Amino acid sequence: MGQFTTSARWSPTADLIVYDRQTTGPFHDLVLTRPDGAGSRLLNTVSADAGSCCAQWSPDGRFLVFERALDDSHVGLFTIAISGTGQARRVTGETGPYLTFTWIE
């Protein structure tokens, strides 16, 4: 199976794009990149048994909220700093799926 990319979203300041991409195995990772493709890097969002997708930006562009899913009935929402420091933090249970979500201050 080939790689595919989904859920691309511009940052509030339009200097970064986040998207999810199948990198290894069946799961997707979140990737940050500049609009010209430079500086691409994976965020530490995938666990041993679940992938990540569908990230949404915080209004200040410093954090992302995203889904981490083992399957359609085991989905949780998590946040992570785009700085690359720290781990993803669960903000919901894992009884999803979440058809839509966004960041609210």
pLDDT tens digits for range 32-88:
999 998 989 888 776 667 778 889 999 999 999 988 876 666 778 889 999 877 788
pLDDT at 15 over 90: yes
Position 1 confidence tier, pLDDT thresholds 50, 70, 90? very low
CA angle 8, 12, 16 (to 5 degrees): 50
pLDDT at 9 over 60: yes
pTM for this entry: 0.82
